[in-house]
């Protein structure tokens, strides 16, 4: 039977990999990509599948409850994969309200509408909320986040995501909405907006600009290649247990400074520069306010129950990532000079 699946935030970094995977792997699904095309949404990410017969793009804002209701009435979605969010911690520190609106109010609009339209007729339906490991707060030098770790979000971004996770669980516990949640560590790979550490550093190295490292660069993140996240999302959407949470991580911890030094070495080789050239661009700057020290995920539940594991070693993933950014310089330049926004604004209008 054909199913109609809503993917929110599909023009963004992770969403575009999820949309591509679902469109290519599941011709029997009709995939509707709903995205407001904020600064982070870029339909160039989906050029290769934009004419696929089972794919449709809809421009719209999840904070607009009437619009979301009409969309559900029109398409009768069987499943929702909810990725749309404001996602950058630094932006949440300077402008928290957008995070409250999209990440909390937007999520509640989707939950309310799913509940209303599905009218307790839940067999075959699923609401999948994609979230972050940042909801758990910060680890010290040892230990891992598990699915039972208490929430302790520190930034407006992580507090807004924590709030949306709680609301998704509340709709399951109170109304029986068929939900599943995952919390993932730091992603990297093609199509990531160059405000995030890895693409920002690649772009700056290419242009001989300083690489800003917050504080002493001793904060630790657990990095996962984005296609491994998309594969986990596919598995959890299809086989995850109703009402449950799955942690997703790369088992791949790096201090920021060690990661950037490794990236600099790869960039020196790719750009045929003298060894050590790119490292000279490293510049220590003022620390991020409330900067979490360490994230590390225990993904054993996902591995044991659903048979997932990361497919790429970090060295391979970072090489693939650098190659992609160097081979797609136009993608990066269109973002840096704003061309992508103007082009799609003309096509779809302002937000
Ligand atoms: P992103 O910023 O690259 O993309 C977000 C997308 O959501 C954009 O296309 C944007 O246009 C869209 N969007 C924003 N506000 C919207 C609104 N009001 N209505 C409709 N669309 C809207 O984000 P990402 O890094 O791809 O993250 C996707 C999801 O995964 C987020 O929920 C994020 O919290 C979560 N996550 C991200 C990471 C990571 O490392 N990037 C890790 C774990 C979880
Ligand atoms: O852990 C999952 C989260 O990972 C996601 O939920 C977020 O959406 C995603 O943005 C990411 O959050 P981080 O804050 O960890 O990512 P970011 O790339 O902004 O920063 C990674 C680390 O690098 C962090 O310790 C801050 C540091 N940093 C970042 C930037 C942008 C720098 O030192 N310099 C920088 O210029």
Pocket flag, ligand 1, residue 154 (CB < 6 Å): no
Mean pLDDT score across all residues of the chain = 95
Measured by CA distance, the residue closest to atom 29 of ligand 2 is 197
Q: Among residues 89, 175, 177, which one has the least CA distance to residue 134?
A: 89
Average pLDDT of the segment spanning 35-49 = 96
256 within ligand 2 shell (Cβ under 6 A): yes
In this structure, is the dihedral angle defined by the CA atoms of residues 165, 96, 91 and 39, taken in order, positive or negative? positive
What pLDDT, in 10s, does the model give residues 226-262? 999 999 999 999 999 999 999 999 999 999 999 999 9
Cβ 203 under 6 angstroms from ligand 2:
no
CB-based burial of residue 123 (10 Å sphere; 0-12 exposed, 13-18 middle, 19+ buried)?
exposed
Ligand 1 atom closest to Cα of residue 82: 32
Read off the pLDDT of residues 43-89 as tens digits, 9 standing for 90 and up: 999 999 999 999 999 999 999 999 999 999 999 999 999 999 999 99
Which residues are part of the catalytic machinery? 133-134, 157
Give the span between the Cα atoms of 29 and 55, in whole angstroms: 9
Contact 248, 232 (CB under 8 A): yes
Q: Judge whether 112 and 71 are in contact, CB under 8 Å.
A: no
For the cut 50, the answer to whether the pLDDT of residue 332 exceeds it is yes
Does ligand 1 come within 6 angstroms of the Cβ of 250? no
* Residue 276 CA to ligand 1 centre (angstroms): 35
| CB of residue 83 inside a 6 A radius of ligand 1 | yes
Give residue-wise pLDDT tens across range 196-218.
999 999 999 999 999 999 999 99
Residue 292 CA, closest ligand 2 atom number: 25
Of all ligands present, the nearest one to the C-alpha of 57 is: 1
Contact 124, 322 (CB under 8 A): no
pLDDT at 187: 98
The span from the CA of 246 to the CA of 132, in Å, is 11
**What tens digit of pLDDT does each residue of 157-196 get?**
999 999 999 999 999 999 999 999 999 999 999 999 999 9
pLDDT at 338: 73
Residue nearest to atom 14 of ligand 2 (CA): 89
Sorted by where each starts, the structural domains of the chain and their CATH numbers stand as 3-191+222-253+293-312 (3.40.50.720)
133 in contact with ligand 2, CB cutoff 6 A: yes
Instruction: Looking at the CA of residue 219, tell me the nearest atom of ligand 2.
Output: 25
> Ligand 1 centroid vs 231 CA: distance in angstroms?
17
d(CA 273, ligand 1 centre) in Å: 35
Using CA positions, which residue lies closest to atom 4 of ligand 1?
Answer: 12
What is the percentage of the chain residues whose pLDDT exceeds 70? 96
């Amino acid at each position: 039977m054909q199913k109609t699946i809503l993917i929110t935030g599909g023009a963004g970094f992770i969403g575009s990999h999820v949309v591509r995977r679902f469109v290519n792997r599941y011709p029997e699904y009709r995939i509707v990509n709903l995205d407001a095309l904020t600064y982070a949404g870029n339909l160039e990410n989906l050029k290769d599948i934009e004419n696929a017969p089972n794919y449709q793009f809809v421009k719209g804002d999840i904070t607009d409850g009437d619009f979301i209701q009409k969309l559900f009435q029109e398409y009768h979605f069987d499943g929702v994969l909810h990725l749309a969010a404001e996602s950058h911690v630094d932006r949440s520190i300077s402008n928290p309200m957008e995070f409250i609106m999209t990440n909390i109010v937007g999520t509640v609009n989707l939950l309310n509408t799913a509940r209303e339209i599905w009218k307790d007729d839940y067999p075959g339906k699923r609401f999948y909320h994609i979230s972050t490991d940042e909801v758990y707060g910060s680890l010290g030098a040892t230990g891992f986040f598990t699915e039972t770790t208490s929430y302790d979000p520190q930034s407006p971004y992580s507090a807004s995501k924590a709030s949306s996770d709680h609301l998704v669980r509340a709709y399951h516990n109170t109304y029986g909405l068929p939900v599943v949640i995952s919390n993932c560590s730091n992603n990297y790979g093609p199509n990531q907006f160059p405000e995030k550490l890895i693409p920002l550093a690649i772009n700056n190295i290419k242009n001989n600009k300083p690489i800003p490292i917050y504080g002493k660069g001793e904060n630790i993140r657990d990095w996962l290649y984005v296609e491994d996240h998309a594969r986990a999302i596919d598995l959890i959407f299809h086989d995850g247990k109703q009402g449950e949470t799955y942690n997703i991580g790369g088992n791949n911890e790096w201090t920021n400074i060690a990661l950037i030094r490794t990236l600099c070495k790869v960039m020196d080789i790719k750009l045929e520069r003298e060894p050590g050239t790119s490292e000279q661009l490293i510049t220590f700057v003022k620390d991020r306010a409330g900067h979490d020290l360490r994230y590390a995920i225990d993904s054993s539940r996902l591995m044991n129950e659903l048979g997932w594991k990361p497919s790429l070693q970090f060295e391979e993933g970072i090489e693939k990532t650098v190659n992609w950014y160097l081979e797609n310089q136009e993608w990066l330049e269109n973002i840096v000079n704003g061309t992508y926004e103007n082009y799609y604004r003309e096509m779809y209008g302002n937000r």
